[in-house]
Structure 1
Amino acid sequence: MLEFSPYAGLNRILPAEVTIDNLRPEIEHLLYGAVTAVGAVLPGMLAAGTGTLLFTTGGGAIAPYPMLAATNAAQAALRNWVHNLHNTLGEQGIQAATVAINVFIGATPPAPGIPHAAPDQIAQAYWALHTERGQHERVING
């Protein structure tokens, strides 16, 4: 099993401010990091005929937040690639899926009214994707 959840902070970049220079680190961190990690484990999974590849994105991978344009673009690219993995590796026993976390992670919110989810609740989404198989995504909303 591979679980890939990189986090390098929230880089506030509006869509009109996205450049190659501020998008490149997001793509390298999120997409290239995931491709590298999968390259390290996929041959063994294919040889075994089983495995699980789980990836974390933010909710902006699905419904973008304008203030996180570069991060959301990279997360959307990761999400697309993982869904393609799901569609092509399932018949070979490999589960590939994303968990889009669209809430503050914590047992209590940082301020009243902020959507949040406890780490144990979020972990259940990963476990369900691993054990139930066949699904390619779970979204954690508040």
Structure 2
Amino acid sequence: MKTMVIVGAGKLLGLSMAKEFGKQGFHIVMIARNEQHLQQLQQILINQKISSSIYSVDICNLDKLANTFKNINKSYGKIDILAFSPNFGHINSTNVLDLKPNDIDSAISGNLKAAIQSVNAVLSKMLSYNSGALLFTTGLSSIYPNSNMSESTLAKSALRNYILMLDKSLIDQNIFVGHISLGIFLKENSHDVSDPDTIAQRWYEKYKNNEHGEELYPLGVTPETIIK
């Protein structure tokens, strides 16, 4: 059975990704800080007969995150898909004119540093098998700067550049690198483009069809047309 690890698994997109890829035969490994919430997500997967496991860790603690991946690798061997989509930097956002150097620490740790640590934990085996996939989901601020969300904009744009470099470096080595930048507010059970299930379906389609690289979701969305 192939294994997918979801870093920053939550009740919206993380759960939808778990359900979509789980029903396609993947064992789902979910990583997040709150163990109680993880247990609730896992119960939903159990009810849908999806194989899963959970690991509770603060992804900003890079040493603990690295150790978590060691345990996952030991338990499951090769990780076939890494999905990275934690939500850091959106709460109590600071206008750029009020930004202090230390204000960006959490957003940088939870976005860029955690992404690098996660990729480093899985990439060597992917390269040795000449297969694997890295899936990144961000918000629109990764592409369009938002001065009222300065921490998130700085962290997500740095993450975006890391993703672009990964894609350029790995495209000839059969490692899929995909990035979807969301221009919507997630709405559970909306049954439209804002539904996390719809986005998860798009992710599986993108992965299955090897549509590597970056895309805006919905196609062509801008800060002026973001769907709330």
- CA separation of 1:133 and 1:11: change in aligned 2, threshold 3 A: farther
Q: Structure 2, unaligned stretches of length 5 or more? A: 1-80, 219-226
How far, CA to CA, are the matches of 2:139 and 2:150 in structure 1? 12
CA distance in 2, matches of 1:81, 1:129: 20
The match for 2:132 among 37, 51, 62 is: 51
Find the counterpart in structure 1 of residue 207 from structure 2. Answer: 130
Matched-pair contact (CA < 8 Å) for 1:83–1:97: no
Aligned to 1:112: none
Cα distance change of structure 1 residues 116 and 20 upon mapping to structure 2, 3 Å threshold: farther
| Contact 2:181 2:215 (C-alpha < 8 Å) held by counterparts | yes
Contact 1:104–1:117 (CA under 8 A) maintained in structure 2: yes
Residue 15 of structure 1 and its aligned partner are, at CA, apart by 1.2
Structure 2: distance between partners of 1:120 and 1:37: 24
Aligned with residue 7 of structure 1, among 84, 87, 90: 87
Instruction: Choose between structure 1 and 2 for higher RCO, CA contacts under 8 A separated by at least 6 residues.
Output: 1
Which residue identity is paired with 2:158?
A
Q: Percent of counterpart pairs with the same letter?
A: 29
Shift of 1:69: 1.1
Distance 1:13 1:124 in 2: 33
Q: Deviation of residue 55 (structure 1)?
A: 0.9
For 1:120 and 1:27, locate their aligned partners in 2 and report how far apart those are by CA, in whole Å. 28
TM-score of the superposition, structure 1-length normalised? Answer: 0.88
**Counterpart-to-counterpart distance in 2, 1:11 and 1:69:** 10
For residue 65 of structure 1, report the CA deviation from its aligned partner: 2.0
Output the aligned Cα RMSD. 1.7
Give the TM-score of the pair, scaled to structure 2: 0.56
- Distance in 1 (alpha carbons) for counterparts of 2:134 and 2:92: 26
Tell me which residue corresponds to 1:99.
180
Who is 1:85 aligned against? 166
Q: Please name the residue that 1:117 is paired with.
A: 194
Equivalent residues, number: 136
Listed as ranges, the gaps of 5+ residues in structure 1 are: 109-114
Check 1:25–1:58 CA distance in 2 against 1; reply closer, same or farther (3 A cut): same
Moved >2 Å (runs of 4+): 8-11
**Shift, 1:119, TM fit:** 1.1
1:21 aligned partner: 102
Cα 1:102/1:90, change in 2 over 3 Å: same
Q: Does 1:73 align with 2:150?
A: no
Is the Cα–Cα contact under 8 Å of residues 193 and 199 in structure 2 kept in the other structure? no
